[in-house]
Structure 1
Amino acid sequence: LYPREDNKECVDLLRRARIAFQAGRTLKECFRLTQLEALVRMLEEHECDFVDALGRDLHKPRFETVVFELITVKNEALHAITNLKKWMQPQPVEKNLSTTLDECLVISEPLGVVFIMGSWCNPVQMCLVPLVGAIAAGNCALVSPSEYTVHTAELLHRLIPFYLDNECFHVILAGISDLPEIVELKFDHVFFTGNKEEGGKIAVAAARTLTPVTLILGSKNPCYVDQNCDVATTVQRIAWACFHNAGQSLMAPSYILCHTDVKARVVQALKCCLMEFYGPDPRESRSFGRMVNLEIFSHTRDLLWRSGKVVVGGQVTEAEKYIAPTVLTEVAESDPIMQQEVFGPVLPILSVNDVDEAIAFINKQEKPLCVYAYSTNSNVISRIMQETSSGSFCSNDCILQSLMVALPFGGVGACGMGSFHGRYSFETFSHRKASLLRGTRFECVTYLRFPPYEDRNLSLMTWACALSQKSQGWCQIL
């Protein structure tokens, strides 16, 4: 493991960042744009370094690193650069009779110094996409990459000081067990991606100082496959989502609820698809990754061995932290693989008789981060979207909804709170301040609210309130 920052160093970095923020260093649009442009330049100039670091941490293929780590972050940064001026402008709101000559505005102001904790599943994306939002909103930030992806963390720790402002932005190398203590140092916002257990500890630590939090937490993400679907396309898209990055993704489908009429065809198509993707021995494929460490490897292997029946894959090599892309059938709801979070290349398939049974199954569980549904029947898609609750929903594909800058991505219920991406990241790291800019005119009317309280004044106020209820719901004469 890398050497960790001690508490004293974190206190010093937080102090420096707070001084920089209080000096107004981050407030100007030009400063924010410069930092965002530098972030893009860092990713472009060190693409090979990131490919190497993620290759060493996760055996991650170059394609996956470039497309799902680097390009994703660059898209976010370029989107923020293009839209920053518009996002920063005060937003006028609807006026009423008493504010006709006043200004009613919502002003987005930065929160201050924020703390961003990334996950090991997507160690660049989950650190830098939130950082884009924090920079765009005018904050200072401390970023803590996951200790599990040590080479990526060290690379970020080394590069960011060369590209971003050295007083406003810092990378700290902290272990997961140290994070709650760091959170208690008091930040203005905490952003965490990871598992529920650690997310709960972060939330408790943040609550002690009344610090607002955004939590993006892992869950069991269901995927319904209807009898009316294009099986070949469906299986390709599911297999890619489940097995890219060796299944280590917060957004990947966790299990398939497969209509009994197409289950046999789906299983056969998965066998063919995995052969096409990774060849007869995925261990030899340059397109397939490895588990991040022995702890995650052992956990996934044990769940695999104690659940269902292996119909594809199942091979493991502990020395390489390798688990083959694996498909399980004859899985029961009570099996260990269905009871715990799984970050690995294992796909259980359960049978359902119709969409009603699928919806009932999904709604029995805790609310997931993602729900997926494959069907050519639009009524089936609509029902699953409307009759289940989840952080996000995608029909006839997987994961893409979590990468789009125009869509918010976040959790609900047990899989977290808050959201990010694009403008939603800007708003997550901003305070929307209600601002009423008034003059001193019309005192001949507004005096009615002042003591001494007369019945006549109350009658006039009640009358005015009744007139305005249809539009404003409150007394316009105030």
Structure 2
Amino acid sequence: MSSTYTPLADIPKVVQSLRSTFFSGITRPLEFRKQQLRGLYNLLADNDAAIREAVFQDLHKPPTELMISETGMIKQECIDAIKNLEKWAANRSVKTSIVNKFDNVHIRKDPLGMVLIIGAWNYPLNLLLGPAVGAIAAGNTVILKPSEISLNTAALLTKLLPKYLDQRAYRVVNGAVEETTLLLEHKFDHIFYTGNGQVGKIIMGAAAKQLTPVTLELGGKSPVFISRDVDIPITARRLCWGKFFNCGQTCIAPDYLIVERGIEDKLVEAFKASVQEFYGSSVQSSSSYGRIVNKNHFDRLKALLDQTKGKVVMGGQMDEKDLFMAPTLVLDVDRDDKLMENEIFGPILPILVVDRLVEGVKYVNQRDQPLALYVFSKNKKAIDYILDHTRSGGIVVNDSLVHFIVSNLPFGGTGPSGIGNYHGKRSFDVFSHERSALIKTMGMEKLNDLRYPVSTTITIMIITTTITTKHAFTHITHITHITHAYVHNLSLHLLSLLFYLQEE
């Protein structure tokens, strides 16, 4: 299956159509949103075999990985959104000063409007449809732009979405640079992009011209701190799973290890044992191991391995025709090694050996903030020190990757690793506007006399006091002792109001 790009002439029509749909109010009713979320859930449930085949053709992704990191997560997001939508979308009352005691003051959750979601190839379902759950739940119209690299998955989604979602409100636009550039020339109410930092800058630059807010889920070199006191077999097992999941093509994959000197050799041996356990004696023949997405990425990874000054102590085997690259460990890596420059995004894991983990903290802080940071240690003091003295989008202690699947944890980067976060209710919030609302009645007009012109000095003092303190009556009593004559001239309704506030 191949994906056909959307004709350039059709893109402005799609944008205008979805904007018109939003202003028609079709997406506002909560029942409509729930219906569309059920449709998205059913799309995944009804087409499991076709989805497996498409993602396998793109990434050789094993069914278990597909379920854990893509279809299972999206279905759960749909269920949570349907279940909690009334609560998420409900007006929220806020506390006010005594000036607005009789008013209806609250925050509305309004949809932003028409939004653009640009997905990524490494998780071609989750990174496109995951944010879409929040956008649909919030009542927006949505343009979905799948990655052109995972073309089989993009083609399948283009075919299936019209059968399950209302095409007046949700459309797929396919294409590469030219089509995306044209899309970005249009005004959106929010742009959500997942990918690399270089493209993220382009997205943000285009959005700035339209004053469009963005959520950018980028990446970076996510470090792993490993102290001497760890359980080495368990540490290797959990890292082996996290690093080689999706063949290392994960934005939060452990990118390099910072290991306290003395355990590195045992750690390497434990990694070898874990690879044997997970993938057998022939990793290439394993049904549980993925492939590099295309030849360009394969060549990039091969060049990194060819240029390293470190020692390959595990793996290193590759097959260009099959886009296969074995799980690979590189020991004795220098800090200026090619492997330490940019995010690897593949199944190569360099090991940086240090005498003390504090050296690693200094090294990490000299680089851009990563999307994730991992610590393996039994020492709470050491763990707290690392967490208190580093920055990252998220942290996991004594495991890897698993925070991504916890929907109640906000997922996102900081600095160069991203802007904003999502998952669960956060996804709904990303695509909602908190709209302030103050609703007054037309009655009780006498209570408004204080704010109108022809105010006396004492009136101004009373207004100031009532605005700035809960204990207005106590302060008014104090003023009364000083300016007794003025207080006697206040209108009866003002005194009644103050007595009412004292009781409250």
TM-score where L is the length of structure 2? 0.90
Matches within 5 A, 1:303-318: 303-307=304-308, 308-318=310-320
In structure 1, C-alpha distance between the alignment counterparts of 2:451 and 2:195, rounded to whole Å: 52
Partner of 1:10: 11
In structure 2, C-alpha distance between the alignment counterparts of 1:20 and 1:463, rounded to whole Å: 49
Partner of 2:239: 238
Query: Tell me, what secondary structure is at the counterpart of 2:333?
Result: coil
Pairwise CA distance, 1:272: 1.4
Cα displacement string for residues 164-186 of structure 1 (whole angstroms, at most 9, x for unaligned residues): 00111111111145323312211
In structure 1, C-alpha distance between the alignment counterparts of 2:94 and 2:337, rounded to whole Å: 53
Matches within 5 A, 1:15-414: 15-307=16-308, 308-414=310-416
In structure 1, C-alpha distance between the alignment counterparts of 2:314 and 2:127, rounded to whole Å: 31
Deviates further, 267-276 or 432-441: 432-441
Query: Tell me, what secondary structure is at the counterpart of 1:319?
Result: coil
2:423 counterpart of 1:438: no
In structure 1, C-alpha distance between the alignment counterparts of 2:361 and 2:471, rounded to whole Å: 41
- AA of the residue aligned to 1:41: N
Deviates further, 296-305 or 148-157: 296-305
Partner of 1:473: none
Cα distance, 1:455–1:340 mapped onto 2, change above 3 Å: same
In structure 2, C-alpha distance between the alignment counterparts of 1:206 and 1:6, rounded to whole Å: 22
Cα distance, 1:55–1:458 mapped onto 2, change above 3 Å: same
Q: Percent identity among equivalent residues?
A: 36
Q: Which has the larger radius of gyration?
A: 2
Conserved 8 A contact 2:98-2:467 = no
Cα distance, 1:38–1:467 mapped onto 2, change above 3 Å: closer
Pairwise CA distance, 1:384: 2.1
Cα distance, 1:459–1:350 mapped onto 2, change above 3 Å: same
Deviates further, 241-250 or 333-342: 333-342
Pairwise CA distance, 1:69: 1.1
In structure 2, C-alpha distance between the alignment counterparts of 1:431 and 1:276, rounded to whole Å: 49
In structure 1, C-alpha distance between the alignment counterparts of 2:464 and 2:34, rounded to whole Å: 51
- AA of the residue aligned to 1:223: V
Query: Tell me, what secondary structure is at the counterpart of 1:121?
Result: coil
In structure 2, C-alpha distance between the alignment counterparts of 1:360 and 1:444, rounded to whole Å: 65
Pairwise CA distance, 1:460: 3.8
- AA of the residue aligned to 1:427: D
Cα distance, 1:364–1:177 mapped onto 2, change above 3 Å: farther
Conserved 8 A contact 1:180-1:201 = no
Cα distance, 1:350–1:442 mapped onto 2, change above 3 Å: farther
Cα displacement string for residues 285-319 of structure 1 (whole angstroms, at most 9, x for unaligned residues): 11111111111111111112212211101112111
Query: Tell me, what secondary structure is at the counterpart of 2:122?
Result: coil
In structure 1, C-alpha distance between the alignment counterparts of 2:451 and 2:101, rounded to whole Å: 19
Pairwise CA distance, 1:445: 5.8
Deviates further, 64-73 or 353-362: 353-362
Pairwise CA distance, 1:261: 2.8
Conserved 8 A contact 2:11-2:183 = yes
Pairwise CA distance, 1:418: 0.9
Conserved 8 A contact 2:99-2:466 = no
Pairwise CA distance, 1:400: 1.2
In structure 1, C-alpha distance between the alignment counterparts of 2:470 and 2:101, rounded to whole Å: 14
Cα distance, 1:217–1:177 mapped onto 2, change above 3 Å: farther
The counterpart of 1:416, out of the listed 415, 418, 438, is: 418
Pairwise CA distance, 1:50: 0.8
In structure 2, C-alpha distance between the alignment counterparts of 1:9 and 1:196, rounded to whole Å: 29
- AA of the residue aligned to 1:435: A
Cα displacement string for residues 315-351 of structure 1 (whole angstroms, at most 9, x for unaligned residues): 1211111111100111111111111122110001101
- AA of the residue aligned to 1:416: G
TM-score where L is the length of structure 1? 0.94
Query: Tell me, what secondary structure is at the counterpart of 2:300?
Result: helix
- The number of aligned residues is 472
Cα distance, 1:444–1:124 mapped onto 2, change above 3 Å: same
Cα distance, 1:466–1:398 mapped onto 2, change above 3 Å: same
Pairwise CA distance, 1:464: 4.2
In structure 1, C-alpha distance between the alignment counterparts of 2:23 and 2:41, rounded to whole Å: 26
Cα displacement string for residues 229-280 of structure 1 (whole angstroms, at most 9, x for unaligned residues): 1111111111111101111001111111111132221111111111222222
Pairwise CA distance, 1:3: 2.7
Cα displacement string for residues 366-412 of structure 1 (whole angstroms, at most 9, x for unaligned residues): 11110111111222222222221111111111111112111110111
In structure 1, C-alpha distance between the alignment counterparts of 2:384 and 2:449, rounded to whole Å: 54
- AA of the residue aligned to 2:98: L
Deviates further, 84-93 or 173-182: 173-182
Pairwise CA distance, 1:452: 5.9
In structure 1, C-alpha distance between the alignment counterparts of 2:301 and 2:166, rounded to whole Å: 41
Pairwise CA distance, 1:450: 4.5
- AA of the residue aligned to 2:85: L
- AA of the residue aligned to 1:380: A
- AA of the residue aligned to 1:370: A
Conserved 8 A contact 2:291-2:325 = yes
In structure 1, C-alpha distance between the alignment counterparts of 2:298 and 2:179, rounded to whole Å: 23
Pairwise CA distance, 1:428: 0.1
Cα displacement string for residues 1-55 of structure 1 (whole angstroms, at most 9, x for unaligned residues): 7331133211111122112111111111111111111111111110111110011
- AA of the residue aligned to 1:315: Q
- AA of the residue aligned to 2:426: Y
- AA of the residue aligned to 2:438: L
Conserved 8 A contact 1:147-1:176 = no
In structure 1, C-alpha distance between the alignment counterparts of 2:122 and 2:342, rounded to whole Å: 17
In structure 2, C-alpha distance between the alignment counterparts of 1:177 and 1:373, rounded to whole Å: 42
In structure 2, C-alpha distance between the alignment counterparts of 1:176 and 1:392, rounded to whole Å: 30
Pairwise CA distance, 1:468: 5.2
Deviates further, 247-256 or 447-456: 447-456
Query: Tell me, what secondary structure is at the counterpart of 1:8?
Result: helix
Query: Tell me, what secondary structure is at the counterpart of 1:320?
Result: coil
